[in-house]
Amino acid sequence: MPSSRFPAPASQPPSAIVRRWFNLIVKSREDLALLTTLEQGKPLSDARGEIDYAASFVEFYAEEAKRPNVESVTSHLQNAEVEVWREGSRPGMEAFMGLGYVCRDWA
């Protein structure tokens, strides 16, 4: 039985969740571009470019989620090395932040 100190492993790795989100954006590209055009009066080609740009952020963070963020820190002890592992608590939060900036005009 896992200790309550540590979270249970996710049913899907975070990268798979964010990658699925990317695939949904790409699949819905034309619909999203049309919505952007109708809401803002932009040319359809510009709206497609915005969708592609926003999707690129999501794809980037899907790939980043695969890699551990490890940093070596100097220890106060001789001949000792300290590693700091940073793990995201919520998959895709960085992607949400980036996408929010790119798609701020969608709302």
Length of the chain: 107
Instruction: Give the predicted TM-score (pTM) of the model.
Output: 0.63
pLDDT tens-place string over residues 19-32: 999 999 999 999 99
Residue 52 pLDDT class (50, 70, 90 cuts): very high
Is the separation of the CB atoms in 103 and 54 below 8 Å? yes
pLDDT tens-place string over residues 62-89: 888 777 776 777 777 788 777 776 665 5
Which H/E stretch holds residue 72? strand 69-74
Is the separation of the CB atoms in 44 and 25 below 8 Å? no
